[in-house]
């Protein structure tokens, strides 16, 4: 069996955390390839090393003296090295970094050094090989990830190394210049390595014991989701649930490799298993609840709209002209509503409304701002009658007015629109009826 293990920044923030990670890796012989993040926060007032690197490079780019800031970053790494009693020096590495900062090597290069240096320490600590991600993970000239080349080169490299550390978050352009994924991209690296290694499982270790049924900032001690499908995860991630980088799913999904979200600080917890499909019966009717605030509903009325061919296309064309994406488009016989992000829409609202009038010639247009969208997701909803009715009942009991409801044909999710100020109350009510009371 081959397991890929990725550890987040909080899991590697200090020597003490490194020691926990070492125990986890050594406890299972099949944990052969390790993907580390840069050191995260040691406490709430601390700064992530990646943020320190961005700040240090910005100082260098401005032509100012950045050496003191770089020295503080080195001290972070030295504290880990000394705490682990390693005979390792990063002196030469920091000299190279300083030279490249002076040469304006780019903010991607600067940010990537957090993972790069942590990878060197991790390889030294475990006695594993070190593989620089810039040598095995590739982007094309347009900055798009080159999956085919990466898989070919990385697979060949891993076959030569029984155990190795591959830093997360970055790769390189064809000319060797470092390119990073978006923030949180170490999750993506772990997924890429899992596919290239033909892994049996990809363990993603972080500071929580898996995905929660609802946001713990809203619900006290929410239940952990034991098993979730990729499709359910996609729906919840899109609506704001964040434990795993959204793009991390695709490489392993294609290869049929499950992801296990685990907690470095509670390694005995099983965490959440993310799979393509499962006959595992969900514990609750719903798998999870997630949502976002800050939407506008653009309500368009026109008599006999349903018999006018191309009406919807004309309306959406008005949004497209001004580079505004839409979230949901529920409709009736003579009405159509387009939900868009309020932040995107506010500066262009009058131009969009004029375009809708010009293109679609509606009878009236009405706007409703400060709305939130909540996704109730679960494969168990397909086989359970009255799910939507129970949601309405719970919200009515909590005095929450439902502005919109939209259910996909897959019956995997139900989207509910409520006022921003009812957002938390609505999530509490839905969680209560499906998880706490299980009516």
Tokens read off for 149: 């080349």
Fold topology of 288-436:
VC0802-like (3.30.2130)
Cβ–Cβ < 8 Å for 212, 225: yes
Averaged pLDDT for residues 292-315: 93
Give pLDDT, residue 237: 77
Taking all residues of the chain, what is their mean pLDDT, rounded to a whole number?
92
Question: Which of 151, 120, 100 has the alpha carbon at shortest distance from 36?
Answer: 120
Alpha-carbon gap, residue 387 to 390, rounded angstroms: 5
Question: Which of 330, 328, 329, 333 has the alpha carbon at shortest distance from 308?
Answer: 333
pTM for the predicted model, two decimal places: 0.84
Cβ–Cβ < 8 Å for 3, 27: no
User: Tens of pLDDT along 43-59?
Assistant: 989 999 999 999 999 99
Give pLDDT, residue 247: 72
- Confirm or reject CATH 3.90.1150.10 for domain 3-275, answering yes or no: no
Question: Domain boundaries in the chain?
Answer: 3-275, 288-436
27-41, 228-242, 300-314: range with lowest mean pLDDT: 228-242
- pLDDT level of residue 242 (50, 70, 90 thresholds): low
- C-alpha distance from residue 35 to each of 25, 147, 201, 205, 341 (Å): 12, 18, 14, 10, 35
Question: Which of 334, 349, 328 has the alpha carbon at shortest distance from 301?
Answer: 334
User: Tens of pLDDT along 99-139?
Assistant: 999 999 999 999 999 999 999 999 999 999 999 999 999 99
């Amino acid at each position: 069996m081959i397991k890929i293990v990725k550890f987040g920044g909080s899991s590697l923030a200090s020597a003490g955390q490194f020691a926990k990670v070492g125990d986890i890796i050594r406890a299972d012989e099949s944990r052969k390839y390790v993907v580390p993040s840069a050191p995260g926060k040691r406490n709430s007032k601390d700064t992530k090393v990646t943020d320190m690197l961005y700040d240090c490079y910005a100082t260098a780019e401005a032509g100012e003296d950045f050496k003191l800031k770089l020295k503080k970053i080195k001290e972070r790494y030295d504290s880990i090295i000394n705490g682990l009693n390693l005979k390792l020096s990063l002196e030469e590495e920091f000299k190279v970094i300083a030279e490249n900062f002076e040469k304006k090597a780019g903010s991607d290069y600067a940010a990537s050094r957090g993972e790069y240096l942590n990878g060197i320490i991790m390889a030294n600590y475990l006695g594993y090989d070190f593989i620089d991600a810039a040598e095995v993970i590739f982007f094309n000239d347009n900055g798009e990830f080159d999956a085919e080349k990466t898989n070919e080169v990385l697979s060949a490299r891993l076959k030569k190394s029984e155990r190795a550390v591959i830093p997360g978050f970055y790769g390189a352009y064809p000319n060797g210049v470092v390119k990073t994924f978006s923030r949180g991209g170490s999750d993506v690296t772990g997924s890429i390595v899992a596919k290239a290694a033909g892994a049996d499982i990809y363990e993603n270790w972080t500071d929580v014991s898996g995905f929660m049924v609802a946001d713990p900032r809203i619900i006290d001690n929410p239940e952990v989701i034991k098993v979730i499908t990729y499709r359910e995860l996609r729906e919840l991630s899109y609506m704001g649930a964040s434990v795993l980088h959204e793009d991390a799913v695709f490489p392993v999904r294609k290869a049929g490799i499950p992801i296990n979200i685990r907690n470095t600080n509670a390694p005995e917890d099983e965490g959440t298993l993310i799979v393509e499909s499962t006959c595992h019966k969900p514990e609750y009717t719903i798998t999870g609840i997630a949502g976002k605030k800050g939407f506008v509903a653009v309500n368009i009325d026109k008599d006999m709209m349903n018999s006018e061919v191309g009406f919807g296309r004309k309306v959406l064309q008005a949004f497209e002209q001004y580079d505004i994406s839409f979230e949901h488009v529920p409709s009736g016989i003579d009405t159509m509503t387009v939900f868009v992000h309020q932040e995107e829409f506010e500066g262009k609202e009058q131009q969009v409304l004029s375009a809708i009038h010009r293109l679609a010639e509606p009878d009236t247009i009405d706007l409703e701002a400060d709305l939130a969208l909540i996704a109730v997701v679960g494969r168990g909803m397909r086989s359970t009658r009255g799910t939507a009715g129970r949601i309405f009942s719970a919200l009515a009991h909590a005095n929450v007015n439902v502005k919109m409801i939209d259910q996909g044909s897959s019956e995997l999710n139900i989207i509910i629109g409520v006022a921003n100020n009812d957002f938390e109350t609505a999530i509490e009510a839905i969680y209560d009826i499906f998880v706490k009371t299980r009516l």
